[in-house]
Amino acid sequence: MADGLESAARPAPKPLLLILLQIEAWLVCVFMFLKYVVWKQFTCAGVDFPKHYHAAIEVLHGRSPFTGDLYLGFNYPVFTASLYAFLAPFSLQGAEVLWDLCNTIYVAATIGLVIAFYRPRPSPSSSIAQTWAVRHWPVVAAFALAIFAPIFLEIHDGNIEPLNLFLLAALGAALLRGRDTLAGALLAGLCLVKILPALFLPPLFIARRKRPVIVCTILLATYALVLLTTGWWRWDWFLFTRVLPNVGFRYCGLSNSLAAIAGHYLFHPLLSSKNAFDAAAVAIACAVLAAQALVMALAWPLARRSWRPSLALTSLSLVLLSPLLEYQHLIWAIPAYLFLILDALEGRVSPRFFMAASALWIAIFACRYQSDLAVWLFLPPLHASTLLVLVLWIATAGNIVIRSRKAVPD
């Protein structure tokens, strides 16, 4: 009898196929991390690193980081240059090693955050597949991040996006765990590095997560006071009035933004006239924001009871409204990507929507791989990826409106 009870309590052995799938998922994640985050990053010349390095030196010497060769090259707030002030005492080569090391740590920390703090909480009616995915969440999360092309395929350019990626992942983790004060501090950091994440504030306020909004506002106001007392406000004012208004058109030939795409295929003068391009970029940004406001109005019941759908949609909006869009900037959409997986495993979205949205994500990632082949049928793959993000935005917005009509608590 005792032998029978012991055998019943003993867990069933894992099928060989399941073990192989888990090993494969980890191998993919480790391979992508070692190849792109470690080897390629430390062996390739960083494109974005030098401007942050020289901007940090300028700020430490009390000079504006937006003059000389850095004008239009360094298009970030003074806070970002100050953040990397620790690079200034080193030579250019030594500082780049530190920069690459920081980026490696940011990506590794992001993977750790998602594995540790994004574990879904399935409902009692979860299917076998959902239960399995939650039980093996570290494997699922590692594989999901390994195929997220904006992280691994773009980091070797030495851009600052790994920092933004880490802050975004940490913000989501803090909100999921109810650490609202920390979430507010992280959101303030995101705003001071990139400005546009301030659009995350309205969804949080509408969903009655007021502490992150208050903390973020206080920290931003404190930083503004520091700018006023030090006189640095003149530098950031120059950024907003002289640098940022000129960046979009200057790099429109490299951009995959909706404004650049419109210039390529609909109205060619947009790419040869700064006034026309700026007007188109502003119109597109206003249209995206107005469309999001409309969605929030139509989905008001859901927006009031849950912050996740609104935050996911906003992360997609950040990608679409930018006049200068490169593929690595798609990391700003990672909240939409992660929350889609969580919502599917927690039963918040229908399997049909999950499959459709997943197919769009896979197509967005495939466009990046296709771009390396330099072969396309109708339009450049990276232009196609932006249009696919637009389709994903529309699908997500429609799903949010549909979910808001349900009486079931989100």
The residue range of the domain holding 218 is: 21-404
- What is the C-alpha separation between 297 and 294, in angstroms, rounded? 5
109 within some domain: yes
Number of domains comprising the chain: 1
Q: Please, what is the Cα angle at 156 between 151 and 158, to 5 degrees?
A: 100
Which pLDDT score, from 0 to 100, does residue 38 have? 84
Quickly count: other Cβ atoms within 10 Å of residue 179's Cβ: 18
Report CA 196 to chain centroid distance, whole Å.
Answer: 12
4 within some domain: no
2 within some domain: no
127 within some domain: yes
Which pLDDT score, from 0 to 100, does residue 109 have? 95
11 within some domain: no
1 within some domain: no
Which pLDDT score, from 0 to 100, does residue 392 have? 97
Environment class of residue 336 by beta-carbon count within 10 Å: exposed (0-12), middle (13-18) or buried (19+)? Answer: buried
14 within some domain: no
User: Tell me: the pLDDT tens digits for 333-364?
Assistant: 999 999 999 999 998 898 999 999 999 999 99
Which pLDDT score, from 0 to 100, does residue 14 have? 60
The per-residue DSSP string of 90-151 comes to S-HHHHHHHHHHHHHHHHHHHHHHHHHH------TT--HHHHHHHHTHHHHHHHHHHT-HHH
Which pLDDT score, from 0 to 100, does residue 1 have? 45
Average pLDDT across the chain, whole number: 87
Which pLDDT score, from 0 to 100, does residue 69 have? 63
- What is the C-alpha separation between 350 and 388, in angstroms, rounded? 21
Compute the chain's Rg from CA coordinates. 23
SS3 of 263-281: the string is: HHHCCHHHHCCHHHHHHHH
**pTM score:** 0.90
16 within some domain: no
- What is the C-alpha separation between 45 and 34, in angstroms, rounded? 17
Query: Which regions of the chain are under pLDDT 50?
Result: 1-10, 12, 408-409
